[in-house]
Amino acid sequence: MAAYCAQCAAGEGNDRSDAYRFSGFVRCDAGSGYISTSGGLSDTHPVSTHMLFLRQNMGDLGFLDGYVWSISALHDKQHDKHGQLLYWAEGAAHYGYELPLWEGALLQTKAGPFCGLHLDYVQKHNSSIGVSAAQRLDNPYVTPYWGGIWLHKPSRKGLVVAGISKEIEFCDDLVLSAYFQPTWMDRRRYMGRYGSSMGEKALMGGAVAFVLFGVQLDWKVSDNVKFYVALSQYDVVNRQARRSIKCGGHYYDKCDWPIFRMGVRLMF
């Protein structure tokens, strides 16, 4: 998924060094495609994404954080649907709390409002408004996490990602992280995406439609600058969804697809 799931997997903005510290980052990257927050592969041609993340620690009271994320197309293959520069944006604001469980383990929980905006689309669309929530258990071994977005407008529908991630430090400035992340959709989101019911793989009124897994290499150039490259694999695992995608007719209708990204993150 877009910005939201990247934060779930990578724990971006997770800074606990000072009880009342204000921090954040700006991130820009280019990729060979992207997974939209609506769920599923939405482009297989180059795109550029941009993100601003802010966090205010509040001592024993927890923390506030939020982000604004946008995307631009580096091609003109979807000119019948939207423009190229900053055609979609989304953002969220969260209140969160971090609970130490045992030495080296910390449970982070946060929730708040979510909004998505169609900035440059050919047809008029209403804003997407809902709530988002996430949890992750940071520890020295393998980090489990989950995050969900439930929309109230323009229609009621939900999506949940859950997965595990692991970091390997080669040195202080070079870190490799790997993750595995299934994505569950409720019935309304699934039918809106794939056009019919989820078939035999129904789970809690919805279905796991696809999985993402991959690796990311971060190179810390200085305390404020980090470069990264990432490779992810997208695989649709629901058989009915695969049949629907194969009949889609769009160039980005793929059941299995690799996505490469590279970018820079400026921290403050």
What is the average pLDDT score of the chain? 91
Residues of the chain with pLDDT > 90, as a percent, come to: 77
**Whether 261 contacts 230, CB under 8 Å:** yes
Nearest of 109, 146, 152 to residue 5 by alpha carbon: 146
pLDDT at 4: 46
Residue 5 has pLDDT above 90, yes or no: no
Q: What is the pLDDT of residues 206-255, one digit of tens each?
A: 889 999 999 999 999 999 999 999 999 999 999 889 999 999 889 999 99
CATH at 26: 2.40.160.40
Residue with the two structure tokens 């150039």: 221
Residue 189 has pLDDT above 50, yes or no: yes
What Cα–Cα distance (Å) separates residue 116 from each residue in 92, 178, 253?
9, 28, 23
Residue 6 has pLDDT above 90, yes or no: no
Q: How many domains does the chain have?
A: 1
Residue 131 has pLDDT above 70, yes or no: yes
Residues β-bridged to residue 149: 132, 159
Q: Quote the strand ranges of 62-104, DSSP E.
A: 63-73, 88-102
Q: What is the pLDDT of residues 65-102, one digit of tens each?
A: 999 999 999 999 999 999 999 999 999 999 999 999 98
Residue 17 has pLDDT above 70, yes or no: no
Q: Which residues contact 237 (CB under 8 A, 6 or more apart)?
A: 182, 208, 209, 210, 211
Range of the domain at 86: 3-267
Report the C-alpha gap between 253 and 260 in whole angstroms: 17
